Amino acid sequence: MAGGAATVNQYLAAGLIDELRTHVVPVTLGAGERLFDGVPPLRLELLAVRAASLVTHISYRVLN
């Protein structure tokens, strides 16, 4: 599944995501939406981190 923060937050809150991949880029595009906003506390296991020149890719497993 792909989507913005609001979509991901809804799926996280419903417990429907097993693995989460984020891509962090140092760019400001306006106010935006916050990832994990309105989501109950989660246990995340870090799977991988890969840095490139302008982006960092981070993968987590969502634990129950």
Cα angle vertex 25, ends 42, 34, to 5°? 40
Question: Facing residues of 48 across strands?
Answer: 59
- pTM score, whole prediction: 0.81
Whether the CB-CB separation of 20 and 62 falls below 8 Å is answered with yes
* Per-residue pLDDT tens over the stretch 4-37: 899 999 999 999 999 999 999 988 878 888 899 9
Q: Which residue shows structure tokens 């993968």?
A: 59
* Per-residue pLDDT tens over the stretch 38-59: 999 999 999 999 999 999 999 9
